[in-house]
Amino acid sequence: MYYSRPYGAPERPATNHRIALYAAMLRCASPDFFAKEKSMFGMLAGAWRFRFFITSSIRTELRIKFVRSRLGGLWMILNPLAQVLMFAFVLSTVLSARLPGIHSRYAYALYLMAGTLGWSLFSEIVTRCLTLFIDNGNILKKLVFPRIALPLIVAGSALTNNALLFLAILFIFGVLGHAPGGALLLLPLLMGVTVALALGLGLALGVLNVFMRDIGQVVPVVLQFLYWFTPVVYMVDIIPVPYRPWLFLNPLIPIITGYHDVLLYDRAPGWHGLAASLAVALALLGASLTLFRRAGADMVDQL
């Protein structure tokens, strides 16, 4: 982006997000850019070359949330915590006695917050990726940049929001008299598996939604079912034994259970279940990246 300035006037600082975007594209784009992006390595290399654009976009998105609202980034924390409060008020008398090993009158609220931390990261990435390419159709048509940057920006922004929610939950844990132990160091591993699974699913759904818009209407309903088939608001042991094997077809269960293990019980997550979830996440991520790479040109034509 070019602009004229009067002679002798101070140079305008290039802090504007759009100016940074155009400058990055002018520096990094090349005539054979799209040809390189058709290979998996070229696509990932393009994302690396645009890493400063990705990080600046994440910072800008976070700053806008704080600037354009009186409560700013507090809304990122208040929404999930309000849901926790509602479930804790309604269901605590029913389920609080079923939490072995936690001797606190707020045991069920602690359980809810731990599960909500994992679910909110997963659902935010999937939900935002679902309409990501439709919402950014004009940018994809007019500008030359690696399209993979868009889901990476979503993942980085969701991780930032989740980190703020984590800090709020840690504070509430302390107020309620429950301090997580050394197993907390394993939380980044759980977050990494969650992001991989959410990106693998969300990226595929986002591409398919460009061609079949009904997907954008169906997925939120499916996410509601998935939420209730994941032990966020209940414990797995309340499910009748004959039906439990079906629950473990859900790759989110070992992840959310891992959040409970780390934050509530101060123990390592179940490695076998977590490894299975990671395998599913990597398979989904590989398949969605292949779909994204092959459908890139047709996707732009559909927007």
The domains of the chain are located at: 34-302
Q: Is 90 exposed, middle or buried (0-12, 13-18, 19+ CB in 10 A)?
A: exposed
**Closest among 207, 66, 236 to 140, alpha carbons compared:** 207
Which tokens in the block code for residue 121?
Answer: 């990261």
CA 95 and chain centroid, separation: 28
Region of 28 please: left (phi>0), alpha (psi -120 to 50) or beta. Answer: alpha
How do the pLDDT tens digits run along the chain, 303 residues long?
333 443 343 443 333 444 445 444 544 444 444 445 556 677 777 788 888 888 888 888 888 777 766 666 666 677 777 777 777 666 666 555 556 666 667 788 888 889 999 999 999 999 999 999 998 888 887 777 788 889 999 999 999 989 988 988 898 888 888 888 899 999 999 999 999 999 999 999 999 999 998 999 999 999 999 999 999 988 888 888 888 888 878 999 999 999 999 999 999 999 999 999 999 999 999 999 999 888 877 887 776
Residue 251's pLDDT is what? Answer: 95
Q: Which long-range contacts (CB under 8 A, 24 or more apart) does 183-190 make?
A: 183/261, 183/262, 183/265, 183/266, 183/267, 183/268, 184/262, 184/263, 184/266, 186/258, 186/262, 186/268, 186/269, 187/259, 187/262, 187/263, 189/274, 190/118, 190/255, 190/258, 190/259, 190/262, 190/269, 190/274
Please say whether the beta carbons of 106 and 158 come within 8 A. Answer: no
